[in-house]
Amino acid sequence: MEHLNVPPQEHVKVLDGQGWVGLIDHLGTESTIVNAARVSFGKLKSDMDERDVKLLEYLIDNRHTSPLEHIVFTFSIHCPLFVRGQWHRHRTWSYNEISRRYTEIDMEFYTPQQLRRQAESNRQASVADPDFDSSALVAEIDAHNKHCMALYEKLLNSGVCREQARSVLPQNMMVTFWGTVDLANLLHFLELRDSEHAQWEIREYAIAIKKLIKPYIPNVAAYFEKKGQAW
């Protein structure tokens, strides 16, 4: 049996190689989208031609989103708890996650390579400062992770249950979850999370998802690129 913490074959690494997002499965193609739009007229086509691409663009442009809901992706995501917290606010995804009530193996912690400064203009945002030497603070984060892990193990070894012992684990503990979403809601997620308003860490995942799904929806990606958005 494979372990959940091993990325699937199709995956993109993020957060300096400490996290990843992988594609587990997908349903439908771009021709499914245009066929779904044509269900209204009782017509079906198997190949995409130029008129279909125009129809696809029209659907996205006009937020005629229901045909996009016939494309579905399932991802496996390995990320820090604080990214998972932001991700799970997206209610249109279906989630399943490894439970620390069941298992205490394969515990990892995300240690950023470089710390960012607090933005002054926006209380939610941060700024990369090349002159900020954060290496000593990063080493302290690493030591703190090890200390939390040692306390967690001490609690378990003292007979404390896993469901209480986990409360001492920090926000940067890595978790793995599966997320399934249709394309309409995925595009909404990508708009919000591949944005300069989103936290850098979750943005890394949004950018990685774009890379992963581009081969499956090349004309959708090209549409956003034509509009000047990175894909």
Ligand X SMILES: Cc1cc2nc3c(=O)[nH]c(=O)nc-3n(C[C@H](O)[C@H](O)[C@H](O)COP(=O)(O)OP(=O)(O)OC[C@H]3O[C@@H](n4cnc5c(N)ncnc54)[C@H](O)[C@@H]3O)c2cc1C
# chain residues binding ligand X, by CB under 6 A: 9
Indicate the DSSP class of residue 119: P
Inter-CA distances, 59 with 56, 68, 228, Å:
5, 8, 18
Is residue 66 a contact point for ligand X (CB under 6 A)?
A: no
Q: Is 128 helix (H, G, I), strand (E, B) or coil?
A: coil
Least Cα distance to 219 among 77, 31, 14, 65 occurs for 31
Cβ(59)–Cβ(13) under 8 Å? no
Is residue 185 a contact point for ligand X (CB under 6 A)?
A: yes
The identity of residue 175, as a single letter, is: V
* Contacts for 216 with CB less than 8 Å, ≥ 6 apart: 26, 29, 71, 73
What is the x/- site pattern for ligand X, positions 73-102, by CB under 6 A? ----------------xxxx----------
Where helices occur in 158-199 by DSSP H, the ranges are 162-165, 183-193
Is residue 125 a contact point for ligand X (CB under 6 A)?
A: no
Q: Which of residues 22-51 bind ligand X (CB under 6 A)?
A: none
Is residue 197 a contact point for ligand X (CB under 6 A)?
A: yes
CB closer to ligand X out of 119 and 151: 119
CB closer to ligand X out of 45 and 197: 197
Q: Give the active site residues.
A: 193
What's the min distance (Å) between Cβ of 111 and ligand X? 24
Is residue 72 a contact point for ligand X (CB under 6 A)?
A: no
Residue 110 to residue 140: CA distance in whole angstroms: 13
What's the min distance (Å) between Cβ of 196 and ligand X? 9
Q: Which stretch binds ligand X (CB under 6 A): 41-49, 56-64, 163-171, 191-199?
A: 191-199
Is residue 63 a contact point for ligand X (CB under 6 A)?
A: no
Residues in contact with ligand X by CB under 6 A are 89-92, 185, 188, 192, 197-198
